[in-house]
Structure 1
Amino acid sequence: MKKRIIALLLAATMLVSLTACGTKKDAEKDTTEGTTTEETTGEDTTAEDTTEKVDFSVGMVTDTGGVNDQSFNQSAWEGLQNLQKNTGADISYLESTQETDYAPNLDKQVDEGKNLIWGIGFAMADAIITAAETNPDVNFAIIDNAYETTPANVTGVMFRAQEPSFVVGYIAGLTSKTGKVGFVGGMKGNIIDQFEYGYRAGVDYAAKELGKEITVDVQYAESFSDSAKGKAIATKMFSSDCDIVFHAAGGVGVGVIEAAKEAGKFAIGVDRDQAYLAPENVLTSALKLVNVAVELVSTEALNGTQIGGQTYNYGLAEDAVGIPEENPNMDPAIYDKAMEVEQLIKDGTIVPPYNADTYGK
């Protein structure tokens, strides 16, 4: 997996002719309540720095999970940081603490003259459309949303999250000793459905292979930021015989992982490799490489490619989702089986469900 990720990043790097040896961040805090701005100049005064600054700037607006959510917002920001390292582009972010921050944060990025503005998360779909209609000369992009009709200055980025979710569900099913596992979602919706039903189908696949019943306890936190609620839900699951809980809940998932650590059970991370949050209690993670997608799409825009009016879709076949290569808490034999399942998904033999209608078919 690491080799594939590196290959993707190298592909992005080859698209540009500039190299970077170092960057310097100039962080400034916005006095507007509920927002934080971090701007980076792409310049470094050290003698070793040969980066040339390019006339291209990218802004990013987080959803309510915040830039340090240990999940997809943080991954998106890491993608922009890598873009700056490789190209010298200016980058910045604004943090949203509530949904009413979306529109003013997008407006501020427009006012600052950004060439491309990212909205992170499907919850920003309406705000992005409104901003795009108001500012037809500005390019916008959004993670985890596809529009029926995509405006010429909007780019959607989607991931087939049901694919890595199926794989970690399969792993959970093969690993569980109690025959009961859990799933904690943030808020019900099309995107989280991919995680839930992909995971449930993977557990079912393992149960069929083992010839036994494995149940999945599913609960939603109705939040992507309330880690205390995530911890409370997962703690109850663990006390009710679940020995593995997968979360797709942004910052809520930090609480899920804390609960696993306290209970001496396993959690499955999401979006990024979250093993560092509890090295002995994270079984694996369902990777959704938002950082790779953000860097690739932003690089295309920087190079003058028309990215608007379309939706990019990434999955296992594009090596943009999967599980970490290193999984010290996983039985190596189970890892090998999971890699076989990944290949079956890539070649179309297994088609993981992405919602209730496709589940069980």
Structure 2
Amino acid sequence: MKKTARIAAVATMVALSLSACGERETDAGEDPASTPSESTSESASADPSQQFPDFKACMVSDSGGFDDKSFNQTSRQGLRDAVEAYGMQEADIESNDPSEFNDNINELVSQGCNSITTVGFLLGDSTLAAAKKNKDVDFSIVDFAYTDDKGDNTAPANVKGLTFNTAEPSFLAGYTAAASSESGVVGTFGGLNIPTVTIFMTGFVQGVERYNEDTGSDVQVIGWDPESAEGSFTNDFEDKNLGQSTATEMINQGADVIFPVAGPAGLGGLQAAQDNDVKAIWVDTDGCVSAEEYCDVLLTSVMKGMDVAVQDAVLASAEDEFSNEVYVGTLENEGVKLAPFSDDVDEELQATIEDLKQQIIDGEITVG
């Protein structure tokens, strides 16, 4: 299939629009977009003129492509932020099909990349194989960690997993969905039945269950059963029509809040919500920024700080401080979070969500 590559000596950062639609409120002083982590900020402030003109930072996308308004797009933003801030060279290759993963990674190795970030769970095997053959290149992979049956890190010294406990904010999203539902039915669906997708869905279900426990309600979730590990999946991350038909079927079953976890295919779920005048919750990015055309139906979004994690990993490689220690984004370190709520979420519910968030951070609520 056709493969596209874009190489720039010093890339111009293409920032996502930060304008939010008027139907949601933002806490005073809060920036909906991810902000650089403390380690990145300290490094930049210590030597603002620090540059790495001979360092080449590179990236391979998953098959959803870089314009997916989701995890590929946000991850590349982190690469571009690093390139812009530190004067690096850049190269990226967009995958159109999983069969291209090996060739795309090898192509970047041949171009002399010092750091290669791969985006997505499905690139796990290809990334590991390339890393073992090219020990002088630092590899980071979004949404994957190499562990044994005991959970111990087995990654080679030149491979870093960038992972995110999205069950935590998804729990808060599930509680929000249940509290906002008028029909007593909410729905979720995924792109594939893989851990990086189902972690969202499980957290969402647990949040609905907590709402029922707290209020004596009986809100039902369709689309995912954590115990049987069975649910609704498009088996595709690209086809918006599949996402739209899946969500429409759930709406026909009474769901009035939809939680799609399917990349670009999930945009079809937002379209179905908009067409049927129901609400939705987006994933990976703040949907009111990345997919602002659907902001009017969004209660909030479950966000992953992939841009910050990627930028930090690239900088660590450039500074010869790279390690294979797995990064885990949590509510506590703000590697995951909820986007600002829409006006449909009242202040009382927002206060409840904030309290639940603190209970998760404190270990009083176990999620996942």
1:344 aligns with 2:349: no
User: 2: distance between equivalents of 1:335 and 1:54?
Assistant: 46
Partner of 1:64: 63
Partner of 2:252: 239
User: 2: distance between equivalents of 1:333 and 1:280?
Assistant: 21
User: 1: distance between equivalents of 2:52 and 2:315?
Assistant: 14
Partner of 1:43: none
Letter of the 2:304 partner, please give it. K
Letter of the 1:290 partner, please give it. M
Letter of the 1:104 partner, please give it. D
1:190 aligns with 2:195: yes
User: 1: distance between equivalents of 2:304 and 2:239?
Assistant: 21
User: 2: distance between equivalents of 1:52 and 1:310?
Assistant: 25
User: 2: distance between equivalents of 1:196 and 1:73?
Assistant: 20
Question: Structure 2 matches for 1:36-115, cutoff 5 A?
Answer: 54-115=53-114
User: 1: distance between equivalents of 2:313 and 2:284?
Assistant: 18
User: 1: distance between equivalents of 2:48 and 2:128?
Assistant: 34
User: 2: distance between equivalents of 1:284 and 1:3?
Assistant: 14
Letter of the 2:279 partner, please give it. F
Q: Deviations over 1:133-183 (max 9, x none)?
A: 221211111011111210111111111110011010010011111110000
1:152 aligns with 2:151: no
Question: Structure 2 matches for 1:171-190, cutoff 5 A?
Answer: 171-190=176-195
SS of the aligned residue for 1:316 comes to coil
Partner of 1:26: none
Letter of the 1:186 partner, please give it. G
User: 2: distance between equivalents of 1:163 and 1:180?
Assistant: 21
- Give the 3 Å change call, closer, same or farther, for CA 4–331 of structure 1 in structure 2: closer
Where does the alignment leave 5 or more consecutive residues of structure 1 unmatched?
Answer: 21-50, 354-361
Which of 90-99 and 321-330 deviates more?
321-330
User: 2: distance between equivalents of 1:18 and 1:258?
Assistant: 46
Q: Deviations over 1:9-39 (max 9, x none)?
A: 464132135548xxxxxxxxxxxxxxxxxxx
- Deviation at residue 3 of structure 1 after TM alignment: 5.8
Q: Percent identity?
A: 30
Letter of the 2:178 partner, please give it. G
Q: Deviations over 1:332-351 (max 9, x none)?
A: 22122111111111010011
Give the alignment partner of residue 238 of structure 2, picking from 221, 225, 229.
Answer: 225
Partner of 1:253: 266
State the TM-score, normalizing by the size of structure 2.
0.83
- Deviation at residue 331 of structure 1 after TM alignment: 2.0
1:203 aligns with 2:208: yes
Structure 1 contact 280–329 (Cα < 8 Å) conserved: no
- Deviation at residue 231 of structure 1 after TM alignment: 0.6
Partner of 1:35: none
User: 1: distance between equivalents of 2:363 and 2:313?
Assistant: 26
- Give the 3 Å change call, closer, same or farther, for CA 100–6 of structure 1 in structure 2: closer
Letter of the 1:12 partner, please give it. T
User: 2: distance between equivalents of 1:184 and 1:123?
Assistant: 18
Structure 2 contact 328–335 (Cα < 8 Å) conserved: no
User: 2: distance between equivalents of 1:169 and 1:6?
Assistant: 22
- Give the 3 Å change call, closer, same or farther, for CA 162–5 of structure 1 in structure 2: same
Structure 2 contact 241–268 (Cα < 8 Å) conserved: yes
Partner of 2:227: none
Letter of the 2:212 partner, please give it. A
- Deviation at residue 277 of structure 1 after TM alignment: 3.3
Partner of 1:302: 318
Partner of 1:323: 338
User: 1: distance between equivalents of 2:236 and 2:312?
Assistant: 29
User: 1: distance between equivalents of 2:143 and 2:279?
Assistant: 27
Partner of 1:44: none
User: 2: distance between equivalents of 1:206 and 1:224?
Assistant: 30
- Deviation at residue 297 of structure 1 after TM alignment: 1.6
SS of the aligned residue for 1:317 comes to coil
- Deviation at residue 274 of structure 1 after TM alignment: 0.5
State the TM-score, normalizing by the size of structure 1.
0.85
Q: Deviations over 1:170-212 (max 9, x none)?
A: 1001111111000011100122221111100001111111211
Structure 1 contact 282–329 (Cα < 8 Å) conserved: no
Structure 2 contact 57–83 (Cα < 8 Å) conserved: no
SS of the aligned residue for 2:326 comes to strand
Letter of the 1:97 partner, please give it. N
Letter of the 2:303 partner, please give it. L
Partner of 1:132: 131
Give the alignment partner of residue 212 of structure 1, picking from 176, 197, 217.
Answer: 217
Partner of 1:269: 282
Runs of 4+ with >3 A deviation:
1-11, 16-20
Letter of the 1:345 partner, please give it. I
Partner of 1:358: none
How many residue pairs are counted as aligned between the two chains?
322
Structure with the larger RCO, 1 or 2 (CA within 8 Å, 6+ apart):
2
User: 1: distance between equivalents of 2:267 and 2:352?
Assistant: 28
